[in-house]
C-alpha cells in the first residue's frame, strides 16, 4: 500500500518515468492498474480533453503538434495520446515524421504517448480513457487523443473527450468516406488540412453541404470549418481559438458537466464489467466451458444450455460469505 501511495505521489508530481510506467500498467490491465486508477480518480476531471480524428494521411499528428506548440506559447501543459496505428507518434521506426516532433519531445511540459490498438479487444477502449485519466491526475491542462481508421474507432473518440475535431484533407474520396463513417455527425470542429492543395474548394463545399443536413450541433454551437496547412503552421492559431471557443461554450451552457458525468458513468460501467468478468470466469466455470465444448461441437449439447449452466454457477462475492 505504501508503494501505491508513493507511486501516486510521483504521478501527481508529473514525474515522467512515473507517468510512463503508470500508462504501461493500465495498458497491461489487471488488479494493480485498477487500484492505481481508483487512487488517482479523485484527482481527475480538471484537464480539458480534445479528440483529433479523421482518415489516415489527413495530417492529424502534424496538426496535433502545431496545436501543442500554440498552446505551449500561453504556458499550458499538454499530453498527446496517439491511438492511431498509422501515426508518426506511434511507430517511429517506420516513418521519418518523428523527427519533426523533436522540439515537442524535448519539452518537459509536453508528454506524447502512443497506445497499442491491438490486443485490447476493444479498439479505442478502456486503456485510452485510463491514459487520459493519468494525464489528467498528473495535472496536464490539455489532453489530445489522436485516433484514426475508418469506422467505429473514430466515432468512439467522442465519448472520451470534450471537443471532437475531425480532420480531412482535400483528397478524392475523403469526404465520402468521412460521411459514410459517420464523422460528419461527431465533429464539433472541422479542419480542412492541406487546404492549399487542388480540390480544396470542392471539398469545403461538400462538407459545408453535409453539415447543413446533419442534426448534431445545438442552438449554442455552430460547427465551422477551419482551413489549415499544418506542415507550414498555417491555421493552427485559428484552430486553437476555435477549440477554446468551444470549451467556453460547453462551460457556460453547463454541457461540460454533463459530458463529465457521462464519462464517469461509462467508466463505472466498464469497471463493473471488468469485476463481473472476474466473477463469471471462475475456475469452475472455465472448466465447465472446457468440458462442454466438445459436446457442443458434436451436437450433444446446445449452446444455450451451457450458457444457462454457467450463469447459474455465478456467485456474488457477498453471497459466498453468507
Question: Which residues contact a second copy (rule: CB under 8 A)?
Answer: 34, 38, 41-42, 55-57, 85-86, 90-91, 94-95, 117-118, 120, 122-123, 148-153, 155, 173, 176-177, 179-182, 260-261, 264-265, 267-269, 271-273, 275-277, 279-280, 289, 292-293, 296-297, 299, 302-304, 306-308, 310-319
- Going by C-alpha positions, the residue among 174, 119, 171, 120 that lies closest to residue 148 is 174
Cβ at position 226, least distance to a second copy in Å: 24
Q: Side-chain half-sphere of 117: how many Cα atoms within 13 Å? A: 21
Q: Are 240 and 70 in contact (CB under 8 A)?
A: yes
Cβ at position 88, least distance to a second copy in Å: 10
Cβ at position 276, least distance to a second copy in Å: 5
Cβ at position 72, least distance to a second copy in Å: 28
d(CA 310, CA 322): 21
Tell me the angle at which helices 126-137 and 31-40 cross, rounded to the nearest 10 degrees.
Answer: 40
- Of residues 28 and 307, the one with the C-beta less far from a second copy: 307
- Of residues 219 and 322, the one with the C-beta less far from a second copy: 322
If residue 187 lies in a helix (H) or strand (E), which one and from where to where? none
Contacts of 155 (CB under 8 A, 6+ apart): 181, 182, 183, 185, 186
Which residue shows C-alpha cell 500508462?
A: 23
- Of residues 85 and 245, the one with the C-beta less far from a second copy: 85
Cβ at position 50, least distance to a second copy in Å: 20
Cβ at position 70, least distance to a second copy in Å: 27
- Of residues 246 and 263, the one with the C-beta less far from a second copy: 263
- Going by C-alpha positions, the residue among 307, 248, 277 that lies closest to residue 48 is 248
3-state secondary structure at position 82: strand
- Of residues 86 and 231, the one with the C-beta less far from a second copy: 86
- Of residues 241 and 286, the one with the C-beta less far from a second copy: 286
d(CA 261, CA 263): 5
Length of the chain as a residue count: 322
Amino acid at each position: 500500500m505504501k508503494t501505491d501511495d508513493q507511486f501516486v505521489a510521483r504521478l501527481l508530481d508529473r514525474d515522467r518515468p512515473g507517468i510512463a510506467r503508470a500508462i504501461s500498467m493500465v495498458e497491461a490491465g489487471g488488479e494493480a492498474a485498477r487500484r492505481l486508477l481508483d487512487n488517482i480518480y479523485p484527482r481527475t476531471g480538471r484537464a480539458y480533453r480534445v479528440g483529433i480524428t479523421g482518415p489516415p494521411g489527413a495530417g492529424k499528428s502534424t496538426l496535433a503538434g502545431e496545436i501543442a506548440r500554440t498552446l505551449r506559447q500561453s504556458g499550458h501543459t499538454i499530453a498527446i495520446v496517439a491511438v492511431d496505428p498509422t501515426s508518426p507518434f506511434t511507430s517511429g521506426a517506420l516513418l521519418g515524421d518523428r523527427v519533426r516532433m523533436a522540439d515537442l519531445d524535448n519539452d518537459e511540459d509536453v508528454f506524447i504517448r502512443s497506445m497499442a490498438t491491438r490486443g485490447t479487444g476493444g479498439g479505442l477502449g478502456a486503456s485510452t480513457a485510463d491514459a487520459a485519466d493519468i494525464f489528467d491526475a498528473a495535472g496536464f491542462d490539455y489532453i489530445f487523443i489522436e485516433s484514426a481508421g475508418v469506422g467505429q474507432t473514430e466515432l468512439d473518440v467522442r465519448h472520451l473527450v470534450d471537443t471532437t475535431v475531425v480532420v480531412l484533407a482535400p483528397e478524392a474520396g475523403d469526404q465520402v468516406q468521412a460521411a459514410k463513417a459517420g464523422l460528419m455527425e461527431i465533429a464539433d470542429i472541422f479542419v480542412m488540412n492541406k487546404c492549399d492543395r487542388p480540390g480544396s474548394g470542392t471539398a469545403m463545399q461538400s462538407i459545408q453541404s453535409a453539415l447543413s443536413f446533419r442534426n448534431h450541433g445545438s442552438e449554442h454551437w455552430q460547427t465551422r470549418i477551419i482551413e489549415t496547412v499544418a506542415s507550414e503552421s498555417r491555421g493552427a492559431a485559428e484552430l486553437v481559438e476555435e477549440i477554446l471557443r468551444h470549451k467556453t461554450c460547453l462551460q457556460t451552457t453547463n454541457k461540460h458537466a454533463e459530458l463529465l458525468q457521462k464519462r464517469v458513468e461509462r467508466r463505472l460501467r466498464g469497471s463493473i464489467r471488468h469485476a463481473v468478468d472476474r466473477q463469471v470466469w471462475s475456475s469452475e466455470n472455465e472448466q465447465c466451458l472446457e468440458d462442454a465444448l466438445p459436446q457442443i461441437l458434436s451436437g450433444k449439447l446446445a449452446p444455450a444450455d451451457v450458457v444457462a449452466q454457467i450463469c447459474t454457477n455465478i456467485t456474488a462475492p457477498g453471497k459466498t460469505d453468507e
